Amino acid sequence: MMIKGKIRGTILNGYINYIKRNWGQKGITDFEEYLGESVDQINESEWYNSDLLKKAHLFIADKGPDHVRLAGQYEIQNLGLLSYLVKYFNVKTLLKKAPKNYKEGFSYGESEIEIGDKEAVVKLKNVMIDQHVCDAWQGVLEGALKATNTEGVVKPIFPEDRGEFDCFYKVEWK
């Protein structure tokens, strides 16, 4: 059984914008048919069932194996005015803010981050809403590196304390 919860409309809108950027209005129309509802009325500040995010992941994954990860990157790199401001953060500052930001977007799971000098271990616990969610989170972390103009890598890790609904990563930068 996968985790269920609520997500903010801003998260959904990021995926909708990724679909539109990559597949145009036809992509949006196809996505709305897949959902069985219009995406026009999604409000950035309202909470929505995580099943909508699961459906976005599944729809995007059907377009190709890397698209969910790339959508995660897009999500953080296209924050409107915030994406302009993020360029002035270093990756450590962005990662320090991540647990609070996570809680503002998701009603389920938790984010723990251990930050070192040139690396961090990111533990996202109880976040598995579908089989693609860890790819999406890897993309978000890769997007954080790109958004802060930081050269680095994000690698999934599998320590003993990782649960079946968790996504853990090691982020390394120069």
Range of the domain at 120: 81-173
Q: Give the rounded percent of residues in the chain with a pLDDT score beyond 90.
A: 78
User: What does the pLDDT look like over 127-139, one tens digit per residue?
Assistant: 999 999 999 999 9
Domain count, the chain: 2
Length of the chain: 174
Q: Which of 2-6, 23-27, 164-168 has the lowest mean pLDDT?
A: 2-6
- Average pLDDT on 60-84 reads 83
> Is 24 inside a domain boundary?
yes
47 pLDDT more than 70: yes
Unique residue bearing structure tokens 């919860």: 5
Domain boundary pick from 68, 96, 121:
68
What pLDDT is stored for residue 81 in this prediction? 47
85 pLDDT more than 90: no
CA distances from 7 to 66, 86, 108, 141 (A): 23, 22, 8, 18
For residues 159 and 67, the model is more confident at 67
Q: Cα separation of 119 and 83, whole Å?
A: 22
144 pLDDT more than 80: yes
> Is 25 inside a domain boundary?
yes
